[in-house]
Amino acid sequence: MFKHCKAAALAVTVGLFSHMALADTAAGTWKTIDDETKQVKALVQINEGANGELSGKIIKLFQHPDAVCDECDGDRKGKPVNGMTILWGLKKDGENWNNGKILDPHNGKIYSAKMKLVEGGKKLEVRGFLGVSLLGRTQVWERQ
């Protein structure tokens, strides 16, 4: 009986610490929601590089899995959106990540980006904008 209680206490402790660790990082897999249809759009895997910068790539498209970025410029033009890096250069700044870039594969445009964790790390507010951050849009991604 004592062994079972000990094991349960250990499991709870590990769960709490792993949840606290998640609340400090945006690294992980995130579900994106389409702004218009409110349907699940994609899964984005965010990784932290050796320099501390975050980057993210689409690892699964739900609505149009074979989509290509026809509107993109350069190396991305005509390439599959699935597997494409759409988020890069974000640097930790207090509670936020700033000074990054985000690609909208729908229109091929690249915007300035910033993001922050909300709801104890369960959600991520991702903002793409032009110039000042007042001119843009924010999406809320859900941790998977």
Summarised one tens digit per residue, pLDDT across range 131-144 is 876 789 999 999 99
Summarised one tens digit per residue, pLDDT across range 16-35 is 444 444 468 999 999 999 88
Topology, domain 26-143: Lipocalin (2.40.128)
pTM attached to this predicted model? 0.82
User: Cα separation of 41 and 79, whole Å?
Assistant: 18
Report in angstroms the alpha-carbon separations of 59 from 15, 18, 81, 119. 26, 23, 9, 24
* Domain segments of the chain as ranges: 26-143
